Amino acid sequence: MARIVLKPGRTAPSVYHHPWVFSGSVARIDGPCASGDVVDVVGPRNDFIARGLFSAQSQIAVRLVTWRASEAVDDDFFQRKVADAVRLRERFVPLSAGQTARRAVFSEADGLPGLIADQYGDWLVVQFLSFGLDSRRDIILDALARELHTTGIYERSDVDVRGKEGLTRRVGVAHGEEPPEKLVIRDGVLAYEIDVRTGQKTGHYLDQRENRSAAAALARGRRVLDAFSYSGGFGLAASLKGADEVVCADSSPAALDLARRNAELNGCTNVKFVRGDAGSFLREQSGEHFGLIVLDPPGFAKSSHNVEAALGNYTDLYAAAMRRLDRPGVLAACCCSQHIQPSQIVRALNAAAVAADRQVRIVESRGQPPDHPVAANCPETAYLKCLLCEVN
């Protein structure tokens, strides 16, 4: 087994169990190794630190999976990790007639770096995002099928990050039967039609389940804007909770068509749909006013290098929304960028309030649900922020 020797002064993150070893921390590689191989990570004096999966092309040179020198990283290891991930979901997010969808595996949070697995009833949709897990694909698929008793597993490994690992995109049936073109699930208070083949992410945003309910609880008697609405989750939940009127805005015609079908599926009759950029809608429709605005944009910060630009975009968006809010009104500000911290969102909200001549009080700070657990050794797994604010 090859050894990855770290530079002096670069060992602390690995010693404290952070699962990523960046290429810039590597002093040298002792022994032959290729992407996907199991390697030992050692300090400058050759003292064992951890064991992980090597990637020759990625900036993350090693994804660490165990800090025990006696633990073998073999087929049984990955099968145990899958079983442990499923056990946690069975305890905290059990499936039922009223909840038929959940995230079954969440990458580093479950000790399976680069693997996403979302469960939709009898079907599973997976993404392999790292070389180490991709090279063990068959083992992992078998373990998932066995633990979750799936009818079929569909793969959506079609994201850009695979290119950084030296992997090509892959989409299609991975195990068992092919899923139907349209699936209907229940997630929280709503039923959804989802498209696992071409829909965003794996077909649905499971991480906002509890935040939709929390925002909807504030919707009664208000006119609501669900900006960046995709399949209509926030807006339709608000409709069911007594909103006077709901506007769902999205730039994607396919997303709006899906939201319309979901409105019909849930019996929501007070919803209208607007195609267009949500930011432009807020800035240009000076006559539009709302009692509740939900902002759930795509991640503006794709890397740590563009955080400042992203914060500027969030500030502009928040200010535009505040100008369309009643006094007082409610703003639900969501951010899914792992590179942006909650304190930075708070500063952006304050800057927006100053620009819009409004006052903001955060009444609730929320995150992601239990099927998206946060690993204490990997703060990056705490990526989702949702701040419920009164704007006066």
Residues in CB range of 373: below 8 A, 6 or more apart? 88, 106, 109, 110, 381
CA-CA distance, 64 to 108, in Å (whole number)?
Answer: 9
- Secondary-structure breakdown of the chain: helix, strand, coil percentages, each rounded to the nearest 5: 30, 30, 35
CA-CA distance, 352 to 359, in Å (whole number)?
Answer: 9
User: What values do phi and psi take at 187, rounded to 5?
Assistant: -140, 105
Q: Is 334 considered catalytic here?
A: no
Residue owning tokens 């068509």: 257
Strands 152-157, 183-187: pairing kind = unpaired
Coil, strand or helix at 87: helix
Residue owning tokens 């009127």: 245
- Alpha helices for the chain (secondary structure H): 12-15, 75-92, 131-134, 137-148, 161-164, 209-216, 233-240, 253-265, 278-284, 307-322, 342-356
DSSP assignment letter at 270: S
CA-CA distance, 57 to 54, in Å (whole number)?
Answer: 9
CA-CA distance, 302 to 383, in Å (whole number)?
Answer: 12
> Which entry of 268, 335, 336, 378 is annotated as an active-site residue?
336
Residue owning tokens 């807006």: 235
CA-CA distance, 311 to 373, in Å (whole number)?
Answer: 25
Identify the sign of the CA torsion 313, 347, 308, 116. Answer: negative
Q: What is the dihedral of CA 335, 341, 343, 347, to 10 degrees?
A: -60
Q: Can you say how many angstroms the Cα of residue 215 is from the centroid of all Cα atoms in its chain?
A: 19
Q: What residues act catalytically? A: 336
